Amino acid sequence: GAGVSQSPRYKVAKRGQDVALRCDPISGHVSLFWYQQALGQGPEFLTYFQNEAQLDKSGLPSDRFFAERPEGSVSTLKIQRTQQEDSAVYLCASSLVVGTQYFGPGTRLLVL
Amino acid sequence: GENVEQHPSTLSVQEGDSAVIKCTYSDSASNYFPWYKQELGKGPQLIIDIRSNVGEKKDQRIAVTLNKTAKHFSLHITETQPEDSAVYFCAASIGSGGYQKVTFGTGTKLQVIP
């Protein structure tokens, strides 16, 4: 079946704008993760969902970051009042309850 | 929390030679160690993984070793090919609350020279 998809692939925002990034996980995958990948770095954990429940949001860098997965499938990562330091690739991954995480292609966010 | 260190940051090898990437982790509770390959503009893709109850695992040209005592693990790629050129990430994972929380290394950019 299809892998993890993310949209948009690229997003340019002016500082102060709100953005919403979408993730469509692999069908049937209970677990969904969001990561932030700065240029030249490894992905860093942001948050974790098991079905619709957000069980771990310890990696969200500030209260401007908000994620949801209301029906236990598609997830949206929202960043309010974007800042230049938010520029990064945002990766979504999904897995069965426990197991290999399959990553999407990422959304590259550039805040000007 | 877990801290994963990875080296080298860049690695150039001639086609056909072997490449070795080494990682260390800090949390002895980590029990799962995946390796990911990331090509330009793409998300990381799992290439091999190893669990803490295994010391070595091999899949064709790729092998991973784990030394739990020393908290070291390594990726070995033999007979390298140009298509192996990419950024490789090691990771360490702790099972927590029913899921695996993964901490990534900083990556190794591998260049295979034809």
Preceding omega of B44 cis (within 30 degrees of 0):
no
- Cβ atoms of A10 and B49 closer than 8 Å: no
Three-state DSSP state, A14: coil
- Could you give the CA distance from residue B12 to residue B113 in angstroms, rounded to a whole number? 7
Shortest CA distance to A103 belongs to which of B3, B86, B104, B38? B38
Q: What is the reported pLDDT for B94?
A: 84
Query: Using the beta-carbon criterion (under 8 Å), do B46 and A50 form an inter-chain contact?
Result: no
- Is residue A101 less than 8 Å (CB to CB) from chain B? yes
Query: Using the beta-carbon criterion (under 8 Å), do B43 and A97 form an inter-chain contact?
Result: no
Shortest CA distance to B114 belongs to which of B80, B77, B86? B80
Token couple for B59: 């899949």
Contacts of B4 in chain A (CB under 8 A): 42
Tens of pLDDT, residues B25-47: 999 999 999 999 999 989 999 99
Q: What is the reported pLDDT for A3?
A: 93
Q: What is the reported pLDDT for B69?
A: 93
Mutation to test the B interface, candidates A36, A48, A101, most B Cβ within 10 Å: A101
Alpha-carbon distance B54 to nearest alpha carbon in chain A (angstroms): 16
Q: What is the reported pLDDT for B19?
A: 98
Q: What is the reported pLDDT for A1?
A: 54
Mutation to test the B interface, candidates A91, A103, A107, A108, most B Cβ within 10 Å: A103
Three-state DSSP state, A86: helix
Tens of pLDDT, residues B71-109: 999 999 999 999 999 999 999 998 766 677 899 999 999
Alpha-carbon distance B57 to nearest alpha carbon in chain A (angstroms): 16
DSSP state of B84: G
Alpha-carbon distance A103 to nearest alpha carbon in chain B (angstroms): 6
Classify burial at B38, counting beta carbons within 10 Å of its beta carbon; exposed 0-12, middle 13-18, buried 19 or more. buried
Given a cut of 50, the residues of chain A with pLDDT beneath it are none
Judging by DSSP bridges, how do beta strands A75-79 and B72-77 pair with one another?
unpaired
Residue B54 in this model has a pLDDT that exceeds 90: no
Distance set, CA B62 to CA A107, B17, B18 (Å): 29, 13, 10
Q: What is the reported pLDDT for B81?
A: 97
Residue B58 in this model has a pLDDT that exceeds 90: yes
The beta-strand segments (E) located in B56-107 are 56-59, 62-67, 72-77, 86-96, 99-104
Alpha-carbon distance B92 to nearest alpha carbon in chain A (angstroms): 12
Token couple for B108: 């190794």
- Is residue A41 less than 8 Å (CB to CB) from chain B? yes
Mean of per-residue pLDDT scores for chain B: 94
Q: What is the reported pLDDT for B46?
A: 94
Q: Residue B1: which H helix or E strand, with range?
A: none
Tens of pLDDT, residues B10-23: 999 999 999 999 99
Q: What's the distance, CA A5 to chain centroid? A: 11
Q: What is the reported pLDDT for B97?
A: 62
Interchain CB contacts (distance < 8 Å): A and B: 62
Q: What is the reported pLDDT for B53?
A: 84
